[in-house]
Amino acid sequence: MMTFKHTAQEYDGELRKIREQLLLMGAKVEEMIAGGLQALLKRDSELAHRMMELDSEVNKLEIDIDELCLRVLAKRQPVASDLRAITTVMKMVTDIERIGDLGVNICERVIELNMVPSLKPYVDLQHMAEIAQGMTRSALDAFVSRDAEQARQVIEQDQSLDFYYGQIFREMLTYMMEDVRNIYRATKIQSVSKYLERIGDHATNLAEMVVFMVKATDIRHLGRLGNANEPRLPRGILFVCVENAIQSQMAEGLARKLLPSSVRIWSAGLTPGKQVHPLAIRVMKEIGVDISAQRPKGFADIAMGDIDTFIRLCSKDECSVPANILHRLAWPLMNPASMGGSEEEKLSAFRNIRDELRKQIETLTSL
């Protein structure tokens, strides 16, 4: 945007002012996210109140930036990249302001949680807040550096927040079922996780706008850097094998890496095992995919309403297909854990399954 030198120094100054104000607005909402979490971890309600007060500054910046942009549009009548940059800023401030509103919501729940004993350590919420804050910062950095690839990486991170949100939701539901006295605290914790998940959605919007600014390509609702004529992608994919410990876990990790962030990826098993197989984690790390944080899940843990594609990886038809699934595929693969031999021979079997899954997942765009 704003890296080009114009003959009019005044014009350059106006563009620089818009950029600086946008970054200031972004810094304030980042501070609200980080401060809200610290207020929860340290049970510091005074800090939460201070973070809430920043919202008025964010709101003022939104109005000021809009006025600056309108003034430049009327006075300079920019074209091409400058026009895209200025109109992009006018859209971005709306999402940044809404991130600020969600920061206020988080602080409100934090104050309520600080008035009662802690239900559990807030480790997952801490991870979510760090990801949400990082996504917001990276989207704005991509805007300044005009880096579409960095923006694309922000979009891909959104699935990590979705994963944590689903995990926290299920955990809080368990707490509520165990003891009705947990309901108040569990619902507040679940609300905080939802606000953080929504911040990720707004950061994704920011990144998509950056891609438009740089590439002049609108990728909203397409889920990838392409066009509407590309093959339709599944909305949500569920990979299934009996124990959800090897093949389906590897497929989940690969699909998250290879497919756009708009595709929801899950895996599950009929009788979930206790952990993901260590050799599966090892061979996936060899290609830069970390599945060590994934855990075996049952069908009850999956939001089935998000799934339109069911892929069975069992060598036998042991896992039934839900009746309402639109696409039903079978990629029968042997269980590499059943292979004997040396450790290197076992690793080779796991690698073969990994590579076959990669080939199959790359065919999903033709559904």
Which of 1, 219, 245, 319 is catalytic? The answer is: 319
- The DSSP 8-state label assigned to residue 70 in this structure reads H
Of the candidates 324, 323, 250, 255, the one whose C-alpha atom is nearest the C-alpha of residue 291 is 250
Query: Does residue 314 carry a catalytic annotation?
Result: yes
Query: Does residue 241 carry a catalytic annotation?
Result: yes
Measure the CA–CA gap between 105 and 303, rounded to whole angstroms.
Answer: 25
331 within 8 A of 360, measured Cβ to Cβ: yes
Query: Does residue 319 carry a catalytic annotation?
Result: yes
72 within 8 A of 18, measured Cβ to Cβ: yes
Which of 241, 255, 280, 283 is catalytic? The answer is: 241
Listed in sequence order, the residues at least 6 apart from 172 whose beta carbon sits closer than 8 Å to its beta carbon are: 186, 187, 189, 190
256 within 8 A of 291, measured Cβ to Cβ: no
Amino acid 81 reads S
* Burial annotation 54-90 (CB, 10 A radius, 16+ → b, else e): bbeebeebbebbeebbeebeeebebeebbebbbbbbb
CA atoms within 13 A on the CB side of 128: 30
Which of 314, 329, 353, 357 is catalytic? The answer is: 314
**Mind telling me the catalytic residues?**
241, 314, 319
